[in-house]
Structure 1
Amino acid sequence: MINGFKEFILRGNVIDLAVAVVIGAAFTSIVNVLVDALINPLIGLFFQAGSLDDALQVTVANLGGGESTFSFGLIIGAVINFLAVAAVVYFAFVLPMNKLKERSQPVDAGDEAGPSEQELLVQIRDLLQAKNGI
């Protein structure tokens, strides 16, 4: 069991995943500040609120006499935050790495149009028959 765990930890995928988590956490904090300082106030202007966190709040009376507040602005803010982080990670890391992989892969020789194996065997048979006079 310990050997299996050791093999799992030493795989390259685990290291890649750890790096991705660290980079994702770093970009999340940057994007959070960007969303809180720029995007939330801009969207808040459209909803006449201080920020998106204060926008689209619906207060509903409880059966027990109290009130519950639903903050749809917080949900929209979380979605915007997620999309911003995903876009930064995709355009800053995934897309360039995919382009780099495409450039580093050798051109496949199988892409060239040529006779198939069966056509080559037929040609060899025909040459042997012609040589032997059959």
Structure 2
Amino acid sequence: MLRGFKNFLMRGDVVVVAIGLIVALAFSTLIKAFTDFVINPIITRIQGRGAVGLGWQLGRPGNVATYLNLGAFISAIVYFVVFMAVVYALIVIPYKHVQARRGVTVFGDPTPAKTCPACLSEDIPAAASKCRYCGSDQPPQA
């Protein structure tokens, strides 16, 4: 059992995913600090003097629970976009390159598919002669 677990852990894909998660967590902290300490102060400054943030007070003034903070939402959007761009640039692109050198296509375009006229399944391979769901004969590929 331990030998099988060791072999599983030493597979290249598991190592790549583990390293990717570690890098993603590190960049997540960095980008969170960027949005909290750079983006949020800019948004607060744009709103004006004495502002808590970009938003509206829906209830009694001073009640934080009823403050609609759009600045925090904008900051979260910026955080998400920057985080996904970093993950794509530092993990996905190198992974695609390494897999291409190994002869494996990852994150490519989906394979062509057709719709079964009998059961209306839309994910049948274009070269299939029978439907995988209902078993009906498929017209030849055009």
Q: TM-score range by the shorter chain?
A: 0.5 to 0.7
1:58 aligned to which of 56, 65, 70: 56
Query: Match of 1:105?
Result: 103
Q: CA deviation at 1:10?
A: 3.5
Aligned to 1:85: 83
Which whole-Å CA distance do the structure 2 matches of 1:16 and 1:55 have between them?
A: 40
1:14 deviates by 4.1
What letter matches 1:47 in structure 2?
Q
- How does the TM-score come out when normalised to structure 1? 0.53
Displacement of 1:28 after TM fit? 0.8
The secondary structure found in structure 1 opposite 2:48 is coil
Contact kept? 1:31, 1:85, Cα under 8 Å: yes
Contact 2:31 2:83 in 1 (8 A): yes
**Alignment TM-score, normalising by the size of structure 2:** 0.51
Kept in 2, the 8 Å contact 1:32–1:81? The answer is yes
Question: Per residue, is there more helix in 1 or in 2?
Answer: 1
Q: Report the number of matched residues.
A: 98
Q: Secondary structure at the match of 1:45?
A: helix
Aligned to 2:27: 27
Long gaps (5+) in structure 1: 107-134
C-alpha spacing 1:48/1:104, structure 2 compared with 1 (3 Å): farther
Supply the AA of the counterpart residue of 2:28: T
Quick check: 2:54–2:70 contact (8 Å CA) kept in 1? Answer: yes
Judged with a 3 Å threshold, the aligned counterparts in structure 2 of structure 1 residues 20 and 96 are, in CA distance, closer, same or farther, namely: closer
CA contact (8 A) 2:47 2:53 kept: yes
Aligned residues: CA RMSD: 3.4
Q: Using a 3 Å threshold, how does the CA distance of structure 1 residues 50 and 77 change in structure 2: closer, same or farther?
A: farther
Shift of the alpha carbon at 1:47? 2.5
Aligned to 2:132: none
Whole-angstrom distance in 2 between the partners of 1:55 and 1:47:
7
Distance 1:29 1:98, change over 3 A: same
Tell me by how many angstroms 1:57 deviates. 2.3
Tell me the residue number matched to 1:118.
none
Assess, with a 3 A threshold, how the Cα gap between structure 1 residues 35 and 58 changes in structure 2: closer, same or farther: same
Percent identical pairs in the alignment equals 23
Which residue number in structure 2 is paired with residue 131 of structure 1? none
Indicate how the Cα distance of structure 1 residues 45 and 79 shifts in structure 2: closer, same or farther if over 3 A, else same: same
Contact 2:54 2:71 in 1 (8 A): yes
